Structure 1
Amino acid sequence: MSRFSVAKERVLDDLEGIVEQLLRASRKHHRRSLWNVCNPYRPKSKPEQMCVWLQGARRGAWKDFVSGDQGDAIDLVAYALTGAVTADTRMTALEWIEDRFGLKNMSPARRETIAKEATARRAAAEAKETARRTASRERARKFFYSCQPIEGSLAEVYLRSRNIDLAGVPKLGRALRFHPACEYWMIEERPRMPAMIAAMVGQDGKIGACHYTFLAPDGSGKADVPKAKLMFPETSGLVIRLTDGPSGLPAERAAEASALGLVGLVEGVEDGLSVAVAEPDLRMWSAGSLPGFGTVPDHGCVSSWLVFKDNDWGKRQAQQQFSRAVARLKGFGKPVEVISMPADWGKDVNDALRSGWK
């Protein structure tokens, strides 16, 4: 086992401590799967601009979303120590790690022991993460089916406030439900409030997560909380299938029947429902978030994609993220068209349609 391999394993073992020490990271930005940190070499850096992954095969990997700098655990130490990743700074990182963990005079036998222990730890961690992910998805599935039908609920009142009448949505799917007292977990008090719940499914149509829109008590708008829209658990590779298109068939049955068609892709639930009313010939899916566009799965029911771009993605990072997502969709080998509305029409499709655009 090489010096770099041994050093990397020790960094992964003590990753949280090293991140806290070298990057002065705040525990309030620590999540189960990643840790958002400030870049110490960029003035006024914000935590959401850089992260270190803490779980699974990506543990120890990091990325600065502003500069694009990224790397593995050794690179993380090199960057934290010097602000750059080069052959020389990687050697600096290696020396720092060896000094921290007393690795400089290690015998070949000890290196082999460390390698075996690291392999065993990695396998155990991966098994634990797989079990956690499976349990979280099952929890999301059970929660969704415990919710009430959306018809006649406060969620319908909310949608009407956004000029969406569910009765007028053609071929509405079964992705939306309502919960009258959903726990809001983003603040310490964990209050309960009404919420519109959307099922997020994978390529196989199975529920993997839920999308929550927390509502005001009277349904007149979103709840007055720091972030009214949340998702749980991980949502990579998942979408919200809002409508079933002209055929009226769910995606899997449509593929079996060769009832292929154009699929419209939006970020938000309200956007997707608004488009569905205006363009009934579209099967509408929601990615749930801008990052979600980058993991949308292909499907046999899709003949081509129509992607709606919001107007509040003005930052360079958001523009690049959207461009990468579109390039990935084109990689499926199907036609892709992007619709970008003028900024004065509103920030998204729902705004545009509410303002009278057709």
Structure 2
Amino acid sequence: MTVSPSELARRLGEHAEAVCREYLSNGRRSGNYWMVGDVRNTRGRSMHVRLKAVGSKAAGKWTDESSGEYGDLLDVIEQSCGLVDFREVADEARRFLSMPLPPPQPPPQPLGAQRQLAAARGSPDAARRLFAMSQPIAGTLAERYLAGRGILLSAHERALRFHPGCYYRDLVSGETQALPALIAAVTSLDGQITGLQRTWLDPSGDGKAQLADPRRSLGHLFGNAIWLGLEPGAPVPVMAAGEGLETMASLRTVMPVLPVAAATSANHLAGLRLPPSCRRLYVAADADAAGRHGIERLSQRAGEAGILALVLRPQLGDFNDDLRHLGPAHLAAWLSDQLVPEDVRLFLPPG
């Protein structure tokens, strides 16, 4: 008998602590939660997994407070083991639960169906296929979403694309639906796509889709980033880095020739690989303290590599808040007081 993904997740939840000890071995129990760095079993405390059901809140559900990602124990198995497609994840879950494997798969599906299924799971190859299936953002809901946040980017930004019907899986019910999405490529320094970030959008054009977690990432993210303005192989003596796409795209809006990197989370910011030619790094901070570890660790690593690291601080919650509520001229003036004078001349257009 075939067991549904939601039933597998429920059964894993009945043994949540044992699952965590097996697949998130770098964490530890704290009350009713298992604390660990992230779903890939990094050391830390950003991610917490509920070990026992509380009211309507099921055991095995997890949240990463740094990245905003959510999931269940199937996602833990997928990411911590580096598995590629759902059949492998389900087989590993059954092995852990000592359940029988399903009967042999039917003959291979047509190539188009294979590609569509592969693109739905979390490997770099799937990320590359999904990105290739997307289109430039000009004239799409993705461009409208960014413009609604005050973000105006060059049409030559190759990292951002739009998919009119990107699949979204509800992590509780297992149900899927197709929604428009902003697709952002996560790349290595040589320009190779290693993952991507999907931001599902409201079909009406009114911001993000009304979902529990309208933003998810897949692929190999650690060390890589959503790069805006990076030309592979070209020297990058000065750059900026931060967590969120909107934060870094806001800086890029007022400093359109400054290369910027959005690492997608505080943990990934801490591990961002910097170009060997980099000599000065601006790290974009948010007003809250959630990303302080990532800023401090990246600044430390930069200093050890002989790179001058300077922190840029917003006036409001983050630089997108500044851009939307104070305007680009005010943001540029605010930044001019935090940049090295040489960089003011290089990167801030004359007012």
Question: Is the TM value for this pair above 0.5?
Answer: yes
- Asked if 1:174 corresponds to 2:174, the answer is no
**Counterpart amino acid of residue 240 in structure 2:** G
Question: Residues 143 and 64 (structure 1 numbering): CA distance in 2 closer, same or farther, change over 3 Å?
Answer: closer
User: For residues 81-133 of structure 1, what are the alpha-carbon distances to aligned partners after superposition, in whole Å with 9 as ceiling and x for unaligned?
Assistant: xxxxxxxxxxxxxxxxxxxxxxxxxxxxxxxxxxxxxxxxxxxxxxx959889
Partner of 1:103: none
Out of 272, 297, 302, the position equivalent to 1:329 is 302
Question: CA distance change for structure 1 residues 339 and 262 in 2, over 3 Å: closer, same or farther?
Answer: same
Deviation, structure 1 residue 268: 1.6
List aligned pairs for 1:146-295, cutoff 5 A.
146-166=133-153, 169=154, 172-187=156-171, 188-244=174-230, 250-252=231-233, 254-255=234-235, 260-295=236-271
Report the alpha carbon displacement of residue 341 of structure 1 after superposing the two structures with TM: 2.5
Counterparts in 2 of 1:32 and 1:189: CA distance versus 1, 3 Å? farther
Query: Residue 320 of structure 2 aligns with which residue?
Result: 350
Structure 2: give runs of 5+ residues left out of the alignment.
1-11, 47-80, 89-121, 332-351
Q: How far, CA to CA, are the matches of 1:153 and 1:235 in structure 2?
A: 26
Hey, what does 1:320 align to over in structure 2?
A: 293
Mapped contact 1:25–1:38 kept (Cα < 8 A): no
CA distance in 2 between counterparts of 1:330 and 1:298 reads 12
Query: Which runs of 5 or more residues in structure 1 are unaligned?
Result: 1-18, 67-127, 245-249
In structure 1, what is the Cα distance between the partners aligned to 2:128 and 2:305?
Answer: 28
Residue 314 of structure 2: aligned partner: 341
1:191 & 1:304 partners in 2: Cα distance?
44
- Give a deviation string over 1:264-306, Cα, whole Å, max 9, x none: 1122222222111212341111111222101211213433211
- Whole-Å Cα distance in 1 between the matches of residues 240 and 159 of structure 2? 16
Residue deviations 1:37-62, cap 9 Å, x none? 772xx44x544x33698x8xx7xxx8
Cα distance in 1 for partners of 2:306, 2:164 equals 43
Cα distance, 1:214–1:36 mapped onto 2, change above 3 Å: farther
Matched AA of 1:181: G
Question: Which residue is equivalent to 2:130?
Answer: 143
TM-score (norm 1): 0.60
- The CA deviation at 1:251 is 3.2
- Corresponding residue SS for 1:355: helix
Maintained 8 Å contact 2:281/2:308: yes
Alpha-carbon separation, structure 2, partners of 1:33 and 1:138: 23
Over 3 Å counting, the alpha-carbon distance change for 1:176 and 1:185 in structure 2 is: same
Distance change (3 Å), C-alpha of 1:299 and 1:217: same
1:339, 1:195 → 2: CA distance? 29
Query: C-alpha distance in 1, partners of 2:273/2:157?
Result: 18
Q: Which amino acid aligns with 1:350?
A: N
Q: Deviations over 1:203-243 (max 9, x none)?
A: 32211001111111122211111112110023111111112
- Measured after TM superposition, the shift of residue 263 of structure 1 is 0.5
Task: State the TM-score, normalized to the length of structure 2.
Answer: 0.61
Instruction: Determine what percentage of the aligned residue pairs are the same residue.
Output: 28
CA distance 1:215–1:20, shift in 2 (3 Å): closer
Q: Which has the higher helix share?
A: 1
Task: Report the Cα distance in structure 2 between the residues aligned to 1:242 and 1:52, rounded to whole angstroms.
Answer: 25
- Report 1:55-134 matches (<5 A): 63=43, 65=45
Aligned to 1:307: 283
**Compared CA separation, residues 219 and 303, structure 1 to 2 (3 A):** farther
Question: In the aligned structure 1, how far is the partner of 2:320 from the partner of 2:22?
Answer: 34
1:31 Cα deviation after fit: 12
Root-mean-square deviation (CA, aligned residues, Å) is 3.5
Q: Does 1:25 align with 2:12?
A: no
Letter aligned with residue 352 of structure 1: D
Structure of greater Rg: 1
Return the offset for 1:180: 0.7
Paired residue total: 247
The separation in 1 between residues aligned to 2:302 and 2:44, in whole angstroms, is: 24
Q: Which amino acid aligns with 1:323?
A: E
Distance 1:295 1:325 in 2: 7
Corresponding letter in the other structure for 1:332: A
Q: Secondary structure at the match of 1:218?
A: coil
Structure 2 CA distance for partners of 1:33 and 1:270, relative to 1, 3 Å: farther
Partner of 1:95: none
Q: Distance in 1 between matches of 2:160 and 2:22?
A: 27
Q: Secondary structure at the match of 1:271?
A: helix
Whether the aligned pair in 1 keeps the contact of 2:157 and 2:228 (CA below 8 Å) is yes
